[in-house]
């Protein structure tokens, strides 16, 4: 990835080279130079690229970090925690919801004093879902006990990543360290960056191995008990140790930064001050915005205004003394917080700055607090001018007119207020009567009649056109076909994923019936709650006035790895037996975040975290059989389907509805094409999923009341094709047909055949 | 650099749809400046939930080595705009914020005068390159031809360096594509045509509008982010997602089997109920609503007859051949 195009020494003691790279690339670059032992990770924008770059570099043999693709951030943090107890070096990167999902693990990491380094590529937290950069995830980190280093640009992402490890492992610290940079602004913008030219110099700086003499769960001669049960009066002493270590981290950082400055010529103080020496007015901002404000300072200085800017390079421990010192003679300062501490009369930074002033006896500097740039709203130089104007106004008035406010919000024009456009869907059209399901009381079997698809063209679709999915995306052809088999009203819940983001881009929604999105992993639990509220309110007679003609069918839609991170809640909902359908569109990866491998990615398939290179040829493990896992929960109905077999899908949808209304939870998996990430032609999706069925990779079957029934057997019709006939249709798999990958191809074919043979045995024997 | 803004930057904005390679072209352009021309620079793209086929922007700033790069905000006052997809102008203000001395490069077969009319450009230089045709002829990508033309507009960049970058980035994975990429690049460079338009006396350029102002605000947005207008996405026009081809429907040979509709990801097919020969109500396919067609062409493979075929899209075809969906509106239009 990195382009080396210049070597230079300059004032530095080590040889360095110039790169032109983004923040994420530099985080990965530093990690690969350090050559951490283990990284447990899970995809989330905008930090995912860090793992992707490391995977690409690993595939070409540039490092040997063990990259562990986890099943969610709670697991990735668990993997990192476990690894960090075991004596080696550990790395992770995450953002926003990923950070929130692992939050429980983070104070444990700090409280049990296990060093590691994690990059938080800052992004706003849900809900509503927003993937852009602000500091709302970062502010949750303030109380986790991790020292936090701040990065204003890709250069500092690299530098801080090197210093972070040294800080974490220092004997006086022994804490996990977070490196925080701004999502997209820093993570995705390329800049000229200097890096150590030689890995040996990096190792000289951070130490070749982690320092010995600390907890190591792999030291058999010195067994330890990690994470005991500790009540009062001991716990407060543990916490005091941690507090001392945290304040030590401030001093140790200054020592490390000095050493780093000598080596590289780049110096990081606890706070960076820009033209503050005689400043009357100042602005405090963090990370990327704190760079933009320097241009504003220059412009104001040219007008004769004594302006200055300050920003921290470290916010845990908070540089209280340094900030108080810097503001000693400043008449007014505007503090911009890129996240609110809602109800706290200011974001976290302004309140800590006020505490700093108070602690050091400064009662004269006026402080103006503004919440800005939320959800990635850009910060322009003109916004910086506004912040300085607020400070100058306060100086003139000797008073702060509005101490706390938001900046950049707008009331909106009444004429643009949303108006209802579509009428509610016509129930009589949704309930066509053309699909019938009846139970044979003697055999207990369902008999289903579905009409030709043509007759169902009158039935309203569940979605409006106008969604933003890629050309040729198989999600909505697959889902709408499934919904054609569902009669009457539905309430839908979609997990986070392509289907959700492309149908709900504010202020538009493609959903004509009620739709809920909660989180990536928690849909099954959330819809369980809706279902139970439905039945309870129905029992109490509270739904009578809401226009309902028949019971809703509750449908949860998941995909893009939602059945990895959401497996636990899905199994929980299945075991509780809520009357609902979980339907998974399987596109064989985390396509929504840039095509990372999911457990559903088959062996050898190429994704952005299962790269192809001289040391690696795609995914290393076989694909997950979610249908069989769900069947093992003994729910009444499990099915698979795809758009190439429409009558088959319609029947299964009709059965799914019957079971979800009468018995309990249903799970179905629909294989859908993702032309962008399967690297196939937009037009070929239907044929490709059809080949997946005919090669027996994706058999069409159902498990009804525990009995397996193959609904389409390509062998019966002499239509079975080789797995390779399917694989050759996609760019992500063509490498598997090369002679050097024959062992992987054979292994994959063997697994497909093994699962198919077992399925046939189950089909033949109702007891299996 | 021929011209810089008050902070010392020469600024370029690329307007495209996902999938045409504008992001990659932006990266390569920036790298050519920073690696090859001894400049400092920054490059980035707009990111969101947008997928392939949606409008995207790429931003590039060049400056000399002594200028600090601090600004991370999007390019609002570009010196050069590169429009990768002419149809974008229908839904995106692609020339937003241009100066009277800016250059607007458009991938188009039209003349500069026609484009000036279409884009409502008051003054500036219009540069035209028929990148789509070149890419088709050379069996390469639109972005390489656009990159060639962009190089012409950035005389401080070295084309030999660029060819090196192309070779380096493609050579490993697609060595057979290197020569055609270089040819496409060179044709873009050589075939771009320019025309300059002066600002009429007394006239002024349109004021730029910041791109981050929302239509709904805190007084009009329903609380909690809830969308209370179900199905409103039908208002969107997805025509810009088509990158050259579209399906054509011939009603005479249609057997109304609905296989096209079954595989269509975008609900483009419009049906009507009327009596069949025996007088029973039955569904009949009327045509395609091109407002939603992204040109994936899945329907053509699904069609068992010759009722659907593909066509290189000509201007005006979709509008004149569209059969519009009828929506069940609260307030009928």
Average pLDDT over chain A, rounded to an integer: 96
Q: Which residues of A touch B48 (CB under 8 A)?
A: 131-132
Reading the block at residue A375, the tokens are 């959800």
- The band of A316, judged by pLDDT with boundaries at 50, 70 and 90, is very high
Contact A164, A179 (CB under 8 A): yes
Alpha helices in A327-466 (DSSP H): 348-359, 381-397, 427-430
In A, residues 631-670, which contact B (CB 8 Å cutoff)?
643, 646
| pLDDT score recorded for residue A511 | 98
Contact A612, A606 (CB under 8 A): yes
| pLDDT score recorded for residue B165 | 81
Q: What is the pLDDT of residues B37-72, one digit of tens each?
A: 889 999 999 876 557 888 899 999 999 999 999 999
Reading the block at residue A708, the tokens are 């397996």
Smallest Cβ–Cβ distance between B297 and the set A292, A476, A683 belongs to A683
Calculate helix-pair angle for A567-576, A523-539, nearest 10 degrees: 30
- The band of A164, judged by pLDDT with boundaries at 50, 70 and 90, is very high
A739 by DSSP, 3-state: which?
helix
Burial of A549 (0-12, 13-18, 19+ CB in 10 A): exposed
Q: Note whether A511 contacts B: Cβ–Cβ < 8 A.
A: yes
Alpha helices in A177-326 (DSSP H): 199-206, 235-264, 288-302, 320-326
Contact A745, A725 (CB under 8 A): no
> What is the number of alpha carbons within 13 Å of residue B69 lying toward its C-beta?
27
Least confident of A407-421, A428-442, B19-33, B312-326: B19-33
Contact B265, B298 (CB under 8 A): yes
Q: Which of A605, A606, A601 is nearest to A626 (CA)?
A: A601
Contact A660, A575 (CB under 8 A): no
Residue A53, H or E segment: helix A48-59
Phi, then psi, of B210 in degrees rounded to 5: -55, 140
First to last CA, chain A: 51
- State chain A's maximal CA–CA distance in angstroms: 93
In A, residues 366-425, which contact B (CB 8 Å cutoff)?
377-381, 408-414, 416-423, 425
Reading the block at residue A504, the tokens are 């709900």
Smallest Cβ–Cβ distance between B329 and the set A421, A501, A687 belongs to A421
Mean pLDDT of the region A615-619: 93
Which residue bears the tokens 């999902």?
A: A101
| pLDDT score recorded for residue A2 | 43
How do beta strands B269-275 and B245-249 pair?
Answer: unpaired
Alpha helices in A303-419 (DSSP H): 320-326, 348-359, 381-397
- The band of A3, judged by pLDDT with boundaries at 50, 70 and 90, is very low
Q: Which of A334, A321, A397, A425 is nearest to A371 (CA)?
A: A334
Q: Using CA atoms, how far apart are residues A523 and A517, in angstroms rounded to an integer?
A: 8
- The whole-number mean pLDDT for each consecutive block of 10 residues of chain B, a chain of 333 residues, reads 91 91 89 88 79 87 93 94 91 92 95 94 96 91 94 90 83 80 95 94 89 90 95 93 92 97 98 95 97 97 97 93 96 75
- The band of A1, judged by pLDDT with boundaries at 50, 70 and 90, is very low
Please report, for residues A76, A184, A525, A622, the alpha-carbon distance to residue A73 in angstroms, rounded to integers and kept in the order given. Answer: 5, 20, 18, 22
Q: Using CA atoms, how far apart are residues A50 and A57, in angstroms rounded to an integer?
A: 11
Alpha helices in A225-287 (DSSP H): 235-264
Q: What is the pLDDT of residues A664-714, one digit of tens each?
A: 999 999 999 999 999 999 999 999 999 999 999 999 999 999 999 999 999
Q: Using CA atoms, how far apart are residues A127 and A683, in angstroms rounded to an integer?
A: 35
> What is the number of alpha carbons within 13 Å of residue A312 lying toward its C-beta?
26
Which residue bears the tokens 């500790």?
A: A230
Q: What is the pLDDT of residues A45-75, one digit of tens each?
A: 999 999 999 999 999 999 999 999 999 999 9
Mean pLDDT of the region A400-417: 96
Query: Which residues are paired to A190 by β-bridges?
Result: B43
Which residue bears the tokens 């039935």?
A: A459
Does the beta-carbon distance from B44 to A687 stay under 8 Å?
no
Does the beta-carbon distance from A295 to B271 stay under 8 Å?
no
**Residue in A with minimal Cα distance to B222:** A418
Q: Note whether A128 contacts B: Cβ–Cβ < 8 A.
A: yes
> What is the number of alpha carbons within 13 Å of residue A680 lying toward its C-beta?
27
A573 by DSSP, 3-state: which?
helix
- Chain B nearest C-alpha distance from A481 (Å): 6
Does the beta-carbon distance from B72 to A469 stay under 8 Å?
no
Q: Which residues of B touch A378 (CB under 8 A)?
A: 72-74, 211-212
pLDDT(A7) > 60 = no
Give 3-state DSSP helix, strand, coil % of chain A, rounded to 5.
40, 20, 40
Calculate helix-pair angle for A199-206, A235-264, nearest 10 degrees: 140
Q: Using CA atoms, how far apart are residues A713 and A693, in angstroms rounded to an integer?
A: 9
Q: Using CA atoms, how far apart are residues A687 and B141, in angstroms rounded to an integer?
A: 26
Q: Using CA atoms, how far apart are residues A382 and A539, in angstroms rounded to an integer?
A: 58
What percent of chain A has pLDDT above 90? 96
- Chain B nearest C-alpha distance from A213 (Å): 44
- Chosen for mutation from A477, A547, A672, A731 (greatest number of chain B CBs closer than 10 Å) is A477
Rounded to 10 degrees, the C-alpha dihedral A453/A458/A459/A460 comes to: 130
Q: pTM of the prediction? A: 0.95
Mean pLDDT of the region A131-141: 97
| pLDDT score recorded for residue B18 | 85
Mean pLDDT of the region A474-480: 97
Mean pLDDT of the region A411-423: 93
pLDDT(A282) > 80 = yes
Does the beta-carbon distance from B233 to A288 stay under 8 Å?
no
Contact A319, A271 (CB under 8 A): yes
Q: Note whether A231 contacts B: Cβ–Cβ < 8 A.
A: no
Residue A651, H or E segment: helix A646-662
Q: Using CA atoms, how far apart are residues A63 and A47, in angstroms rounded to an integer?
A: 20
Contact A670, A649 (CB under 8 A): yes
| pLDDT score recorded for residue B183 | 94
How do beta strands B308-312 and B245-249 pair?
Answer: antiparallel
Q: What is the pLDDT of residues A625-660, one digit of tens each?
A: 999 999 999 999 999 999 999 999 999 999 999 999
Does the beta-carbon distance from A465 to B233 stay under 8 Å?
yes
Does the beta-carbon distance from B72 to A186 stay under 8 Å?
yes
DSSP characters over A81-108 = HHHHHTTS-EEEEE-HHHHHHHTTHHHH
Q: Which residues of B touch A457 (CB under 8 A)?
A: 258, 261, 271, 283, 285
The ipTM value here is: 0.93
DSSP characters over A615-638 = TEES-SSPPP-HHHHHHTTT-SEE
| pLDDT score recorded for residue B160 | 87
For the stretch A615-647, what's the b/e string if a residue is b when 16 or more beta carbons lie within 10 angstroms of its beta carbon?
Answer: ebbbbeebbbbbbebbbebebbbbbbbbbbbbe
- The band of A5, judged by pLDDT with boundaries at 50, 70 and 90, is very low
């Amino acid at each position: 990835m990195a382009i080396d195009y210049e070597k230079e020494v300059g004032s530095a003691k080590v040889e360095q080279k110039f790169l032109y790279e983004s923040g994420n690339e530099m985080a990965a670059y530093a990690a690969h130079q350090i050559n951490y032992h283990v990284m447990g990770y899970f995809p989330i924008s905008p930090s995912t690229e860090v793992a992707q770059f490391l995977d690409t570099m690993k595939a070409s043999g540039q490092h040997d970090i063990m990259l562990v693709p986890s099943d969610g951030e709670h697991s990735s943090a668990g993997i990192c925690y476990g690894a960090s107890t075991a004596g080696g070096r550990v790395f992770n990167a995450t953002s926003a919801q990923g950070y929130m999902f692992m939050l429980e693990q983070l104070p444990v990491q700090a409280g049990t004093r296990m060093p590691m380094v994690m990059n938080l590529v800052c992004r706003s937290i849900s809900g509503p879902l927003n993937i852009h950069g602000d500091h709302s995830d970062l502010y949750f980190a303030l109380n986790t006990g991790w020292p936090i280093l701040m990065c204003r640009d890709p250069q500092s992402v690299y530098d801080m990543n090197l210093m972070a490890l040294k800080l974490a492992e220092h004997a006086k610290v022994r804490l996990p360290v977070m490196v925080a940079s701004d999502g997209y602004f820093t993570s995705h913008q390329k800049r000229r960056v200097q890096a150590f030219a030689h890995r040996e110099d990096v190792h000289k700086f951070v130490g070749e191995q982690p320092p010995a003499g600390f907890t190591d769960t792999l030291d058999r001669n010195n067994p330890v008990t990690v994470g005991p049960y500790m009540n009062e009066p001991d716990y407060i002493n543990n916490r005091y140790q941690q507090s001392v270590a945290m304040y030590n981290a401030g001093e140790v950082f200054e020592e490390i930064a000095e050493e780093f400055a000598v080596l590289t010529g780049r110096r990081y103080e606890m706070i960076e001050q820009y033209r503050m020496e005689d400043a009357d007015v100042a602005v405090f901002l963090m990370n990327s915005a704190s760079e933009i404000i320097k241009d504003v300072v220059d412009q104001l200085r040219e007008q004769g205004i004594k302006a200055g800017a300050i920003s921290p390079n470290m916010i845990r421990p908070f540089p209280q003394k340094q900030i108080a010192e810097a503001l000693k003679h400043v008449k007014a300062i505007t503090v911009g917080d890129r996240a609110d501490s809602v109800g706290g009369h200011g974001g976290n930074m302004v309140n800590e700055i006020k505490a700093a002033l108070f602690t050091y006896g400064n009662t004269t500097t006026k402080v103006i607090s503004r919440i800005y740039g939320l959800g990635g709203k850009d910060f322009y130089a003109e916004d910086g001018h506004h912040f300085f104007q607020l400070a100058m106004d306060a100086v003139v008035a000797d008073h702060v007119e509005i101490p706390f406010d938001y900046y950049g919000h707008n009331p909106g024009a009444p004429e643009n207020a949303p108006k209802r456009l579509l009428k509610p869907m016509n129930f009589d059209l949704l309930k066509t009567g053309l699909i019938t399901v009846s139970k044979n009381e003697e055999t207990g079997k369902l008999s289903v009649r579905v009409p030709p698809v043509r007759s169902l063209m009158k039935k309203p679709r569940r979605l409006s056109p106008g969604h933003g999915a890629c050309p040729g995306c198989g999600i909505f052809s697959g889902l709408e076909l499934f919904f054609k088999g569902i009669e009457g009203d539905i309430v839908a819940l979609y997990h986070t994923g392509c289907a959700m983001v492309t149908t709900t881009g504010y202020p538009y929604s493609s959903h004509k019936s009620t739709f809920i999105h909660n989180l990536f992993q928690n849909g099954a639990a959330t819809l369980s709650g809706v279902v139970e509220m439905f039945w309870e309110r129905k029992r109490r007679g509270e739904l009578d006035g809401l226009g309902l003609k028949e019971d809703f069918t509750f449908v949860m839609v998941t995909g893009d790895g939602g059945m990895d991170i959401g497996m636990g809640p899905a199994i929980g909902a299945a075991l509780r037996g809520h009357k609902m359908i979980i339907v998974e569109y399987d596109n064989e990866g985390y396509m929504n975040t840039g095509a990372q491998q999911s457990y559903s990615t088959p062996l050898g398939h190429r994704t952005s975290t299962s790269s192809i290179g001289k040391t690696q040829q795609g995914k290393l493990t076989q694909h997950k059989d979610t249908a069989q896992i769900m069947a093992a929960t003994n729910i009444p109905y499990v099915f698979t389907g795809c758009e190439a077999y429409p009558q088959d899908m319609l029947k299964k949808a009709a059965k799914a509805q019957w079971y979800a209304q009468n018995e309990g939870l249903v799970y179905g998996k629909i294989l859908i094409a993702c032309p962008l990430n399967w690297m196939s032609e937009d037009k070929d999706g239907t044929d490709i999923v059809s080949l997946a069925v005919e090669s027996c990779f994706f058999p069409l079957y159902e498990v009804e009341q525990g009995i397996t029934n193959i609904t389409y057997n390509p062998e019966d019709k002499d239509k079975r094709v080789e797995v390779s006939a399917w694989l050759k249709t996609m760019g992500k798999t063509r490498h598997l047909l090369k002679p050097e990958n024959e062992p992987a191809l054979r292994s994959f074919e063997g697994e497909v055949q093994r699962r198919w043979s077992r399925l046939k045995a189950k089909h033949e024997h109702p007891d299996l | 650099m021929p011209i810089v803004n008050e902070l010392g930057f020469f600024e370029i904005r690329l307007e495209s749809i996902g999938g045409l390679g504008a992001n990659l072209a932006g990266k390569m352009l920036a790298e050519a400046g920073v690696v090859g021309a001894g400049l400092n620079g920054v490059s980035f793209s707009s990111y969101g939930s947008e997928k392939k086929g949606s409008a995207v922007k790429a931003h590039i700033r060049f400056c000399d080595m002594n200028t600090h790069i601090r600004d991370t905000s999007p390019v609002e006052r570009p010196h050069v705009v590169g429009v990768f997809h002419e149809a974008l102008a229908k839904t995106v203000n692609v020339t937003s914020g241009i100066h009277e001395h800016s250059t607007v490069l458009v991938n188009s077969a039209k003349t500069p005068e026609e484009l000036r009319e279409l884009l409502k450009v008051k003054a500036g230089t219009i540069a035209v390159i028929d990148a789509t045709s070149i890419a088709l002829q050379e069996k390469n990508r639109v972005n390489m031809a656009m990159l060639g033309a962009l190089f012409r507009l950035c005389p401080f960049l070295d084309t030999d360096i660029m060819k090196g970058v192309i070779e380096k980035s493609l050579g490993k994975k697609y060595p057979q594509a290197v020569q055609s990429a270089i040819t496409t690049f060179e044709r873009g460079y050589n075939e771009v045509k320019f025309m300059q338009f002066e600002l009429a006396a007394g006239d002024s350029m349109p004021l730029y509008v910041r791109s981050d102002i929302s239509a709904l605000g805190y007084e009009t947005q329903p609380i909690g982010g809830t969308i209370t207008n179900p199905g409103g996405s039908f208002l969107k026009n997805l025509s810009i997602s088509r990158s050259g081809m579209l399906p054509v429907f011939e009603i005479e040979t249609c057997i109304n089997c609905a296989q096209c509709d079954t595989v269509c990801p975008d609900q483009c097919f419009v049906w009507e109920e009327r009596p069949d020969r025996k007088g029973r109500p039955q569904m009949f396919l009327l045509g395609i609503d091109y407002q939603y067609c992204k040109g994936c062409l899945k329907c053509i493979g699904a069609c068992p007859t010759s009722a659907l075929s593909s066509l290189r899209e000509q201007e005006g075809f979709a509008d004149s051949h569209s059969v519009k969906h009828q929506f069940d509106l609260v307030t009928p239009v």
